[in-house]
Amino acid sequence: MCYTNLYMGKWNRFRRSKKKAAPTQESESTGRVGQPLNPGQSALQPSYLDEEAQAESGSEERAPKIHMETQPESPSSPPAPPSLATGHPPNKAPRAPKGVVVLAIGLPGSGKTTWFKRRGVAPLSSDMLRSILFDDITEQRYQSLVFSTLRSLLRARLIARMPWNYVDATNLSPRERRQWIQMARQLGYEVQAVFFDVPLEVCLERNSRRERMVSEDIMRRMAAKLRPPTFEEGFSKIVVVRVKSKEGNAEPAETEF
């Protein structure tokens, strides 16, 4: 019993001394573990704990809100203007054309090939392609193949940025000329027309002297389809070639518009 009472007394004294000891640090945020804590210094803690405490205490201060901002594709470039977002691109100054495409327009026998020869020009022509593709300049069964190949050749020249490009074909109607004009303008070229305004009788007379003749019936049907070029089609310049008289060997006269 004596030993028991003595042991219990020591245990009670130890408990009382522990209660009076200064609180010690339980974290490594400001010092060593077990170091006495300074009453005027609190341990570091995340800021969100302070914000939660303010919210729980009913404080008027609130945590800052998160603001979202969408960046452009390149952070170094400014956002697109409103005009682009609404589908109205800003006005741009027209660029200088890369070159010129010249379309010849006229009936067989109107003098197109002679006009090019006098100027030392080797144009892209349907007759040239018929000779290359079929070894026969009179072949008429594959018109769509001839003209699709002719357009491909012109496109290749425009992609290669050749400055002057000539097309020798009849190009009778706006419908036949539209594809040439659209392709040239889409690739940055201006389009000019050389219109051979030669009477049908003169063309028929010249045609009769050729080795490769076009029948009169076809010539008249082609003449019925022929329409003069206009600026509304997209031409930037129109040259009209006429003959001074009805004679087939008359010297042509040119007028520019």
pLDDT tens for 180-213 read 999 999 999 999 999 999 999 999 999 999 877 8
Residue owning tokens 């389809």: 225
Quick: pLDDT tens for 155-165.
Answer: 999 999 999 99
Give the three-class secondary structure for 104.
strand
Q: Which of 159, 169, 179, 188 is nearest to 100 (CA)?
A: 188
Supply the pTM of this predicted model.
Answer: 0.60
Q: What is the pLDDT of residue 243?
A: 87
Looking at domain 100-256, its CATH architecture is: 3-Layer(aba) Sandwich (3.40)
pLDDT score of 154 more than 50? yes
Q: What is the pLDDT of residue 29?
A: 42
> Are 179 and 151 in contact, with CB atoms under 8 Å apart?
yes
Task: Give dist(CA 155, CA 136) in Å, integer.
Answer: 25
Task: Give dist(CA 189, CA 181) in Å, integer.
Answer: 9
pLDDT score of 65 more than 50? no
Can you name the residues that pair with 190 across neighbouring β-strands? 100
**Residue spans per domain, the chain:** 100-256
Q: What is the pLDDT of residue 42?
A: 46
Quick: pLDDT tens for 87-129.
Answer: 444 455 567 889 999 999 999 999 999 999 999 999 999 888 8
Task: Give dist(CA 129, CA 113) in Å, integer.
Answer: 14
> Are 148 and 105 in contact, with CB atoms under 8 Å apart?
no
> Within 13 Å, how many C-alpha atoms sit on residue 242's CB side?
8
